[in-house]
Amino acid sequence: MDLTKKNENKNEPVESTRGYIYTAPDVDIFEETEVYKILFDIPGIEKDDINIKVEKDVLTLTAECKKQPGEGFECVREEMGFVGYQRSFNLNGIVDTNKIEADYSNGTLQLKLPKKEEQKTKEIQIKVS
């Protein structure tokens, strides 16, 4: 998946293992002069259950919701399955992977992906002669 393509994901199951059904989370991607920003919608996930990695210039997010009913409770009806999210992006060599930042709040994960120096927008000054 290319970082800059629009409207190509529609929450389809991507994998089923260990009882989890993985879906690709909805994302919004923004581009600024120096950085890309990706917002992932991953409700019900705890920060410690999110894994972000970059391998061979591919950014992959994996997140799993672990249900915990609380001590002393026994489940008598189970309708909510174990949910997992997984989404990958090919960075195409345009991101400085050593400077990626992540922030998670209220079910939204925000990644800031700084552009490599040669990818940044540059203004050219016009000389008057």
For residue 100, being part of any structural domain is answered with: yes
For residue 9, being part of any structural domain is answered with: no
Contact, 86 vs 109, CB < 8 A? no
Q: Model confidence at 1, in pLDDT bands (50, 70, 90)?
A: very low
Structure confidence at residue 21 (pLDDT): 74
The dihedral built from the CA positions of residue 101, 62, 65 and 10, taken in this order, carries a sign that is: positive
For residue 129, being part of any structural domain is answered with: no
d(CA 73, CA 104): 29
pTM of the full predicted structure? 0.73
6 or 77, which is more confident?
77
Average pLDDT over residues 6-10: 50
DSSP 8-30: -----EEEEETTEEEEPPPEEEE
Domain count, the chain: 1
For residue 12, being part of any structural domain is answered with: no
Q: Looking at beta carbons, which pairs linking 7-15 to residues 24 or more positions away fall under 8 Å?
A: 9/87, 14/86, 15/84, 15/86
Structure confidence at residue 12 (pLDDT): 52
How many Cβ atoms sit within 10 Å of the Cβ of residue 17? 8
Give residue-wise pLDDT tens across range 88-117. Answer: 999 999 999 999 999 999 999 999 999 998
Tell me which residue range forms the domain holding 48: 19-69+79-117
Give residue-wise pLDDT tens across range 13-50. Answer: 555 445 567 889 999 999 998 999 999 999 888 999 99
CATH code, domain with 101: 2.60.40.790
Q: Model confidence at 3, in pLDDT bands (50, 70, 90)?
A: low
